[in-house]
Amino acid sequence: MARKKRTNDPEGMRRRVLDVAEDFFQARGYHASSLGDLMAAAGVTGGALHHHFPTKKALALAVIEERVAAAVRETWIEPVLAASSAREGVRAVFEAVAAELEEQGYVRGCPLNNLAHELSLADDEFRLALANIFAGWRQAIADKVRADQTNGGEGGTDPDRFAALAVAAYSGAMSMAKTSQDAGFLRECLKELESLQLSSGGSTVRRRRRVLLR
Amino acid sequence: MARKKRTNDPEGMRRRVLDVAEDFFQARGYHASSLGDLMAAAGVTGGALHHHFPTKKALALAVIEERVAAAVRETWIEPVLAASSAREGVRAVFEAVAAELEEQGYVRGCPLNNLAHELSLADDEFRLALANIFAGWRQAIADKVRADQTNGGEGGTDPDRFAALAVAAYSGAMSMAKTSQDAGFLRECLKELESLQLSSGGSTVRRRRRVLLR
DNA sequence: GACAAAACAGGACAACCGGTCTGTTTTATA
DNA sequence: TATAAAACAGACCGGTTGTCCTGTTTTGTC
């Protein structure tokens, strides 16, 4: 008979739990995800789970601070910072996410908004952690607008307002996309946003100046 | 000893249950609301509850189809239809809700979005009911835009896109407002939306006509 | 190799949940 | 007033939940 061996791998164990928890919390939500199912899916025993995450709340907090924040960073902040301008970055992200969802065939929604809606009112610690991610998201976009402005673009745009609307439009569009299981709402909102910006936006300064010079 | 009397009031009983359920589901969410707490808060026994709503799902479905739909109708659809134009209607609702939240002192979020995020992926019947409310919401705004257009306004605006963005911006702004407990995001998004529409939007027709007549 | 701490295993448990069931009272109808 | 259905009361139950607890194994350190 072969003896059973065990290899301690705390980091790997923790990662596996977070992987499954991230997936469960987004697909089923926090309250609808039982630790029993989670343990089974992750192949983890109760003792191990409790060792790394003493409570369910601690697990969710880790998911928020590590995974949800990372998701926002990867799908939004980094692409926007890498883009040629804030507006172009926002456009590219809308487009990329819409394309990804259409290929995927279903819409699970925005990880941040999903948890924010369920947990913001339940617990202040949850709420604060989620609000911080929203703030970082907006700030990255606003900073990009400011960078554009020092480079001579985006004349009359208020960076914080622009960022707030970009995040809001995305969040809301994703909410409708999730509820209708139709990624098209992302494209619709992006188009409307662009059609408005086309006639104002960067050219605002020029037009206003023209009016004044008459 | 006074004898205990009972007065059957099926409609009132049903209304009281729905009142509490609507409140609970918005404040705590569906899964976090136990029927026990709900019964206690409504002063209703298990028998009565089960008589009117056989399952928790049936109760939630009634809340969605009666209360949430009514909330959207009252705070959005009716004001927009009564406004002088679609844009003015959207502006007025943003303003009114922001003012109401600021006076109230806290933000519980949009009833529709709250439940949509938690229940859309859990059950298709939930999802469909919620998607219908979103659709009616958008359609009311889009219809108003079309009415504006037959009255000579809103030249190049795509009604459906405009409606989608209006709903998305509101939903997303409310999501941030709820998470940050700050109604200011509604005002910020409205201002950005207006600053874009000021230079394009309703004046598009006039400007275009002027260009054509030159 | 001794030893303490970390890592993990797995059972146990009390609280709670939603749903069911039986029984009683009210009410509409005739 | 007879009667059946609707409206309501309240106990009950099986299953689930998150957490705790007691052991055992692995691992780093001297």
CATH number, domain at B42? 1.10.10.60
User: For A76-85, what is each residue's pLDDT tens digit?
Assistant: 999 999 999 9
**A2 is a domain residue:** no
- Choose the mutation target among B33, B112, B160, B179 for the interface with A, i.e. most A CBs under 10 Å: B179
Nucleotides of D under 7 A from a protein CB: 6-12, 16-23, 25-27
| Mean pLDDT of the region A81-92 | 97
Q: How confident is the model at residue B197 (pLDDT cuts 50, 70, 90)?
A: confident
Same domain, B88 and B122: yes
d(CA B150, CA B133): 26
Distance of CA A88 to the CA centre of its chain: 18
Nucleotides of C under 7 A from a protein CB: 6-12, 16-23, 25-27
Average pLDDT of chain B is: 91
Q: Any residues with CB less than 8 A from the CB of B115 and at least 6 apart, and which?
A: B25, B26, B30, B60, B63, B64, B68, B126, B130
Q: Do A29 and B31 touch (CB under 8 A)?
A: yes
Strand C–CB B7 distance below 7 A: yes
Q: Which of A151-160, B102-111, B198-207 has the highest mean pLDDT?
A: B102-111
Backbone angles phi, psi at B33, to 5 degrees: -95, 115
CATH of residue A166's domain is 1.10.357.10
Average pLDDT of chain A is: 91
**B1 is a domain residue:** no
Q: How confident is the model at residue B2 (pLDDT cuts 50, 70, 90)?
A: very low
Strand C–CB A31 distance below 7 A: no
Same domain, B49 and B68: no
Same domain, A15 and A116: no
Same domain, B154 and B132: yes
Query: pLDDT value at position A197?
Result: 76
| Mean pLDDT of the region B79-91 | 97
Query: pLDDT value at position A87?
Result: 96
Give the residue on A whose Cα is nearest the Cα of B130: A179
- Cβ distance B22 to B60 under 8 Å? no
Same domain, A49 and A120: no
- Cβ distance A201 to B196 under 8 Å? yes
Burial of A212 (0-12, 13-18, 19+ CB in 10 A): exposed
Query: pLDDT value at position B207?
Result: 39
For residue B10, the distance in angstroms to the closest alpha carbon of chain A comes to 32
Same domain, B82 and B124: yes
Q: Any residues with CB less than 8 A from the CB of A37 and at least 6 apart, and which?
A: A24
User: For B136-194, what is each residue's pLDDT tens digit?
Assistant: 999 999 999 999 999 987 778 999 999 999 999 999 999 999 999 999 999 999 999 99
Same domain, A44 and A126: no
For residue B110, the distance in angstroms to the closest alpha carbon of chain A comes to 9
B200 versus A165: the higher-pLDDT residue is: A165
Query: pLDDT value at position B167?
Result: 98
List the single range of A68-82, A143-157, B8-22, B55-69 with lowest mean pLDDT.
Answer: A143-157
- Cβ distance A45 to A62 under 8 Å? no
Q: In this model, does residue A156 exceed pLDDT 80?
A: yes
Percent of chain B with pLDDT over 90: 84
**B117 is a domain residue:** yes
How far lies A156's CA from each of A93, A163, A197, B165, B204, in Å? Answer: 23, 14, 12, 22, 19
List the single range of A27-31, B91-95, B192-196 with lowest mean pLDDT.
Answer: B192-196
**A3 is a domain residue:** no
Same domain, B96 and B160: yes
Q: Number of folded domains in chain A?
A: 2
Same domain, B43 and B102: no
Give the residue on B whose Cα is nearest the Cα of A25: B118
User: For A164-203, what is each residue's pLDDT tens digit?
Assistant: 999 999 999 999 999 999 999 999 999 999 998 765 544 3
Distance of CA B150 to the CA centre of its chain: 27
Q: In this model, does residue A206 exceed pLDDT 50?
A: no
Percent of chain B with pLDDT over 70: 90
**B2 is a domain residue:** no
Same domain, B169 and B77: yes
| Mean pLDDT of the region B192-198 | 86
Same domain, B30 and B82: no
Q: In this model, does residue A207 exceed pLDDT 60?
A: no
Q: Do B171 and A170 touch (CB under 8 A)?
A: no
A chain contacts of residue B122, beta-carbon cutoff 8 Å? 28-29, 32
| Mean pLDDT of the region A49-61 | 98
- Cβ distance B150 to B159 under 8 Å? no
Q: In this model, does residue B198 exceed pLDDT 80?
A: no
Q: Coil, helix or strand for A55?
A: coil
Radius of gyration of chain A measured on its C-alpha atoms: 21
Give the domain extent around A36: 8-54
**A118 is a domain residue:** yes
Query: pLDDT value at position B4?
Result: 57
How far lies B83's CA from each of A129, B90, B110, B147, in Å? Answer: 39, 9, 21, 12
| Mean pLDDT of the region A18-26 | 98
**A87 is a domain residue:** yes
| Candidates B161, B176, B200; nearest CB to A168 | B176
Q: Do A189 and B114 touch (CB under 8 A)?
A: no
Same domain, A130 and A157: yes
How far lies B99's CA from each of A114, A131, B102, B175, in Å? Answer: 26, 21, 5, 16
